[in-house]
Structure 1
Amino acid sequence: MTVVLATVCEDGVVMGSDSQITDKGRGMTYPAQKLHPLGSDAAWGGSGARSVLTDVQRSFNENSAAILEAPDIGRAMQNQVLPILRHHYETFIPDVPGEEGSGTPSAYVMAAGWRDGEPWIIEITPSGMIGHYADIGFHAIGSGAAMAQQAGSLLSHFRIGKRSVDVGCAAVLRVLKSLDLTSASVGKPFSLCRITKDGAHHLTDEEIDKVGEVVARWEKAEQAAIAKIFD
């Protein structure tokens, strides 16, 4: 199971992902990096066929400046992703003996950033459609997306969109930790990226551990508050 998610904050955007890849055809899971830089000012993640996402990563690395400087970032992303999808659809062999149900060449791609004082979250679907989600404030892709949306909704009363990216990092990590508890195929290590007007910063393992300590204090404070309310 895969989950890549993004949330809008007052001063930026936070993206996060798990690292577990499920290979249905071989009946196995393994760790892989799902959150990647898009130039120095944005980040992207993907869900689906690894062959497609590998090509997308190469294309985004080579064309990040053109994408981020384009008047319409969604169209610029679409122009890079569509030829890759078409190529894999055209060369895919669906009926391989002994490999029934091994997967498809479809993939979702989501990127996020901050430009001209505004956030953006854009998704390219397997059919090539462009989705914009900055106005909604939260989006997720992957087989764990539905659960991530539910977890995000349970945190909506904290009004993450009105708080800093520091709070956003903690909220995203809480969602990922919740999915880790409820799904065996979502797991560590987690990746986090905070994006502000100063650019994108991919958190190190040590920085993520520190965010985890903040999450622990947050959860402890909630427990104390509940105890006082119902005492």
Structure 2
Amino acid sequence: MTVVLATVCEDGVVLGSDSQITDKGRGMTYPAEKLHPLGKDAAWGGSGARSVLTDVARLFTENNAAILEAPDIGRALQAQVLPILRHHYETFIPDVPGEEGGGTPSAYVMAAGWRDGEPWIIEITPSGMIGHYADIGFHAIGSGAPMAQQAGALLSHFHLTERSTRFGCAAVLRVLQALDLTSASVGKPFSLCRIDADGAHHLSDKEIEEVATLVRKWEKAEQKVIGDVFD
């Protein structure tokens, strides 16, 4: 199971992901990085066929400046991803003996950033459609996306769009930890990326552990408040 999610904060955007890749055809899972830089001012993640996402990573690395400087970032992303999808759909062999249920060449791509004081979160679906989610404030892709949306909804009363990316990192990590508890195929290590007016910053393992410490303090504070209210 894969989950990549993004949330809008007052001063930027936070992305997070797990690191477990599921290979249904071989009945195995393995860790892999799912959050990637998109130039210095954005980041992206993907879910689906690894062959497609590998090609996307190469083109995004080569053409990140053109994408981020385009008047319409969504169409610029679409222009990069569509030829890759078409190529893999055209060359895919669905009926391989002994490989029934081995997957498809479809993939979802989600990118996010902060430009001219405004957030953007854009998804390119396997059919090539463009989805804009900055106005919604939260989005997730991958097989774990429905659970991530539910977890995000349970945190909605904290009004993430009115809080800093520091709080956003803690909220995103808390969602990932909740998915880790409820799904055996979502797991550590987690990745976090904070994007603001200064650009995109991919958190180190040490920084993610510092965020985890904040999450534990947050949870303890909630327990104390509940005790004060109901005891």
Shorter-chain TM-score category? over 0.9
SS at match of 1:120: strand
Q: Distance in 1 between matches of 2:213 and 2:50?
A: 33
Give the TM-score, by structure 1 length: 1.00
Query: TM-score if structure 2 supplies the norm length?
Result: 1.00
Identity score, percent:
84
Between the aligned partners of 2:86 and 2:26, the Cα distance in structure 1 is: 25
Q: 1:158 is matched with which residue? A: 158
Distance 1:178 1:98 in 2: 36
Aligned residues: 231
Partner of 1:27: 27
Q: Structure 1 counterpart of 2:60, which letter?
A: F
Q: CA-to-partner distance for each residue in 1:24-69, whole Å, 9 max, x for gaps?
A: 0000000000000000000000000000000000000000000000
* Structure 2 equivalent of residue 185 of structure 1: 185
Structure 1 stretches (4+) deviating beyond 2 angstroms? none
Give how far 1:123 is off. 0.1
Letter in 2 for 1:95: D
The residue correspondences of 1:216-227 to structure 2 (distance < 5 A) are 216-227=216-227
CA deviations on 1:109-131 (whole Å, 9 max, x unpaired) are 00000000000000000000000
Equivalence for 1:114 = 114
Q: Output the amino acid matched with 1:111.
A: A
- Cα deviation 1:48-95 (Å, max 9, x = unaligned): 000000000000000000000000000000000000000000000000
CA–CA separation in structure 2 for the residues paired with 1:223 and 1:161: 24
Q: CA separation in 2, counterparts of 1:164 and 1:24?
A: 39
1:80-99 to structure 2, matched below 5 A, reads 80-99=80-99
Residue 74 of structure 1 corresponds to which residue in structure 2? 74
Q: What are the within-5 Å matches in structure 2 for residues 188-207 of structure 1?
A: 188-207=188-207
* Paired residue type of 1:58: R
Matches within 5 A, 1:137-176: 137-176=137-176
In 1, the alpha carbon distance for the partners of 2:151 and 2:216 equals: 17
2:12 is aligned to 12
> Following the alignment from structure 1 to structure 2, what is the Cα–Cα distance between the partners of residues 82 and 181?
35
Partner residue in 2 for 1:229: 229
- 2: CA distance, partners of 1:48 / 1:90: 17
List gaps (5 residues or longer) in structure 2: none
CA distance in 1, matches of 2:37, 2:17: 13
What is the CA distance between 1:177 and its match in structure 2? 0.2
Provide the residue aligned with 2:62 in structure 1.
Answer: 62
Which residue type is aligned with residue 38 of structure 2?
Answer: L
* Distance (whole Å) between structure 1 residues aligned to residue 179 and residue 193 of structure 2: 18
Mapped partners of 2:43, 2:180: distance in 1: 22
